[in-house]
Amino acid sequence: MTHLPRLLLCVACALAPAFALAQAWPAKPVKIVVPFAPGGASDIFARLLGQRLTERLGQQFVVENKPGAATTIGAAEVARAPGDGYTLMLAPAPFVIAALMYPKLSYAPKDFAGIALIATSPLILTAHSSVAANTLPELLALSKAKPGSLAYASPGNGSVPHLATELFKTRTGADLTHVPYKGGGPAVNDLVAGHVGLMFASPIEVSQFVAAGKLKYIATSAGTRAATLPNVPTVAESGVKDFDIVAWFGIVAPAATPKPIIARLSQEIGQILADPSIKERFSSQGADIQFMPSDEFERFLAREREQWAQAIKVSGAKID
């Protein structure tokens, strides 16, 4: 027992530099890279977090938009940045998908450290009002009775709605024809016009058309019902076991970022997201606050890579 105080002293001395680093950071402005153009949900969420982190930590958190190539331009910049806590990225679900689909990228998943999951957004299987089905079982029966007659829209090959529908087809045996578009706007426009019958879409994209009677909700892709749409059943509760797909938003950093900084950022973000006013702002963009600290978020990212790798394989999806 006489050696215990000495051991504790050694441990304390070893940990002291890490704690000091976390306390000293940030000593200059921090950059948050958004791999999309200004104005979308990712940009809005990054700016909200940046503003609150600036207020809490006393240094500017500045958003820089680096759009292009399905998040890979912004991700490449973050991957090669110094791991010093001064470069972060708002990472959406396509960040994982692009790393699986693009050949010869200059980075790999191991080049990033997960800091926090901040929000999720369900995808709602939405049908044109003329489709002769109001429930998922009715839709599956219709697709099998008339093979190839139902077409579904997506914002493009390799997008979350595309791969989500391909997983849905694999798990249910639904016979659906893919019609890719160059973006969510054109896809929704053709769904509303009745040129295609179905689409996994964000509620914010289609809610006004559902309210007008032009479209109807069939089921949500998430594992639980959306808080804003409590009457829309999930795909899983409609009979498709373990189907749980969401669009999501998280914060990552270069892999070499010191763990004390990651832990502090994760803690600060968790406290910011607990603010009801932040929840309201996220809800206005069709997203639900869903905080995961760094360790849990890392496990989430690993599951996402596994799920989307399966979807890419079964769909044969290629980058346009």
The residue ranges of every structural domain in the chain are: 28-120+246-315, 124-220
Mean predicted confidence (pLDDT) in 198-209: 94
Nearest to 185 by CA among 213, 159, 149: 159
Q: What angle do CA 272, 277, 283 make, to 5 degrees?
A: 100
Strand partners, 63: 32
Is the Cβ–Cβ distance between 147 and 175 less than 8 Å?
yes
How is domain 28-120+246-315 classified at the architecture level of CATH? 3-Layer(aba) Sandwich (3.40)
The yes-or-no verdict on residue 7 having pLDDT over 80 is no
Q: Which fold has domain 124-220?
A: D-Maltodextrin-Binding Protein; domain 2 (3.40.190)
Share of the chain above pLDDT 70, in %: 92
pTM: 0.87
For residues 59-76, give the mean pLDDT.
95
Q: What angle do CA 243, 248, 254 make, to 5 degrees?
A: 125
Write the DSSP symbol of residue 234. Answer: B
Helix (H) or strand (E) holding 43: helix 41-57
pLDDT, tens digit, for every residue of 72-131?
999 999 999 999 999 999 999 999 999 999 988 999 999 999 999 999 998 999 999 999
Does this chain's domain 28-120+246-315 share its CATH topology with 124-220? Answer: yes
